[in-house]
Amino acid sequence: MARRVTGEAATRLFRSIMRVVWWSEELGVPVFDKGGCRGVCWKLRLTQPGDLRPAFERDVEVTREAIEYSLGGEAAKRLLPGGSLVLLNRVQAIDAADEVIVGGRTIGTRMFDLYRRRWVFKPDYFGAVLLYREGLGPRARSRVPLRPGSVIERSDLRVYEEPREPGLFLVLSDGRRFGVGKLLETGAVRVQKVFDAPPRRALESWEASRATLDDIIEANVEHLEALEEEAVGWLRSVLDRGEPMVALSGGKDSTVAAAIAVEAGVSRGYFFDTGIEFPETVETAERVADALGLELLEISAGDTFWRALEIYGPPARDYRWCCKVVKFGPLERGLRPHVRGSLLTITGQRAFESTARAQAGRLAPSATTGRHGDLVAAPIQHWTSLEVHMYIQWKRLPLNPLYTMGYERVGCYLCPASRLAEIEAVRDTHARLWRRWESALHRFAKRASLPREWVEYGFWRWRFAYPAEIEALAKRLGLNPRELLRRSMLLYATLSIEPTPDGRVARVLHPRTRLDRIDLDAYERLLSATRLRDRASREGDHVRITDEELGVEARVYSDARVEIIGEPRDANKFGAFARRVLAPLYMIGACGGCAVCVSSCPTGAMIAPHTVDTNKCRSCSICVNVCPAGGKLATHAVRLLEESVTSQKRPKTSTGRKTTRKPNKHRGR
């Protein structure tokens, strides 16, 4: 899969695939082909990528509660009347956030507030002006012009209704333009958005639609037929690229992909149970297979996750060992006896889900099985979420009930990629499942001396680095984000710095693995994968590895202790050297038996987990990189070593504290 992109690059990418969706005022529904519009029509104002979806009953309840909390009950009644057709459009934010479309207009954005751990609502454009002109919700008149990012002092505001607490929103007007501001602790208001008012006619004629999903389908049935025809035709054109099997996940996208596959003549599918699935997901996958007449192969990872958890700790966004250990390895072993040649996996991948999937082709090498020649086919790559839901309803296919409970996506219930809003939903709807996971998190936190907030606010979802907004949340809670990460690292390695008899510096590392003793012969052979074997020599009870250019040597002992002697000449290259030394050690000492190293080896050199045939090894390091122990668990120790080097390089004050030299402002004059 392609590399994830962020920022402006992500915006450009999503803008390039964004679809135009029209709103028919007469029909009261969105229309994908303008020719299907009746009466007055306009383009929906959507933030990229514009992946519209219908709001189910629980979504509407959550949105109404957010509006009531943020703007008051009367504002909620006006913006979201009972029985309204509500559409949601996921937008980028710190956590979960969706634009809310009612009556063809974006009334605002619901967003999950990390600090409050609840949904709040920010009115936007149409909704903000409507509330201001009708005298509803927190609002104020500004005596100074509105400018995005500016702070308006309290003395320059005439407040008609106060937000219930700092951090919530109010609508602003300077008599000419409108905007939305956020109340600060000081009582001042920071302006977030400024815009011109929509036409008065649009405000006066606006009303919520009471149409249903069936009404949307009726207005777009020709569009759905064309989508289906194109997807089926494309899939038929690639079926000769491997043995076709549908990957059923129990989610909406794989359900539609399976229906397309059956129309194209595919008769086999598989469902992989990771052991940490929602029960509704397992049931839905089986119901879909029955409804479509698919021959379904069911593969299960059993309790693999819970056993691996004791080795690797909680999975994280930057340490997703769960995919490799729980999914890739068991899935490969379960599928291979049923596939004679190359496998063509038909999935529900869609471009709107992420930047990586937006860049992925409709037909691409499989990253799941790891076998050369295996391909993934995505017949609904360019479908929106709304089109997927329409198709399921149109064909009367089973829908996972989780979507009606407020879930946007369906996956493992403890996935580290989950947003805090989704975690709160699991806590509410599946308390028993969540209690088991939360107990495991608290046990890990206790071992690492981490505070309760590490669990409650989802800090466990990162292992090596926090995004800026999560660091800000930690500081707001009175926590040190750097210390949170360091405490987790110390569970997997400890480090001391000691002088050697000849006056050099020795960094003595004790990697914490499951083994008290390491087979040094196996370690030496594994060094072939990291291109260090030619620099290694066996000296009694240890293996010695030298890097003359860097000016250091490493000694790996049979008790798993590692000494790195000498002060590196280049701190930037030191981490790479340490990783190549430590990766084979962790591959042996923390092996979970997933065997992804075996299935991913392109030459067959890896004949068993951490057992390499040096005659076949090309030192490509693929086995090291995919290994959850050698690839990432070793990073804990590498980071400690890197910190020890950079901390010694920083100048210190007379009190011994690290400091940074300020530039001389007069230099160069």
- The structure's pTM equals 0.91
**pLDDT reading at 163 higher than 60:** yes
Across the range 39-55, mean pLDDT stands at 94
Across the range 488-515, mean pLDDT stands at 91
Q: Which residue has the tokens 């990189």?
A: 625
> pLDDT at position 239, please?
97
> pLDDT at position 545, please?
96
**pLDDT reading at 647 higher than 80:** no
Homologous superfamily assigned to 220-405? HUPs (3.40.50.620)
Secondary structure of residue 642 in the 3-state scheme: helix
**pLDDT reading at 237 higher than 50:** yes
The helix (H) or strand (E) run that includes residue 376 is strand 375-377
* Among 36, 43, 83, CA closest to 64: 83
Q: Where are the domains of the chain?
A: 19-212, 220-405, 420-489, 493-649
Please state, in angstroms and rounded to a whole number, the distance separating the CA atoms of residues 149 and 198: 22
Secondary structure of residue 662 in the 3-state scheme: coil
DSSP H helical ranges for 313-399: 321-322, 329-335, 355-359, 385-395
Top pLDDT among 661 and 603 is at: 603
Question: What is each CA distance from 342 to 14, 235, 243, 262, 330, in whole angstroms?
Answer: 32, 16, 6, 20, 18
CB burial string 379-406: b at 16+ within 10 A, e below: bbbbbbbbbbbbbbbbeebbbbebbebb
Rounded to the nearest integer, the mean pLDDT of the chain is 92
**pLDDT reading at 19 higher than 50:** yes
**pLDDT reading at 536 higher than 70:** yes
Range with the lowest mean pLDDT among 19-33, 362-376, 595-609?
362-376
User: If one looks up domain 493-649 in CATH, what number appears?
Assistant: 3.30.310.10
Dihedral (CA of 144, 150, 153, 154) sign:
positive
pLDDT band for position 2 (cuts 50, 70, 90): low
Name the fold adopted by 19-212: Sulfate adenylyltransferase (3.10.400)
Please state, in angstroms and rounded to a whole number, the distance separating the CA atoms of residues 609 and 598: 6
Across the range 367-378, mean pLDDT stands at 79
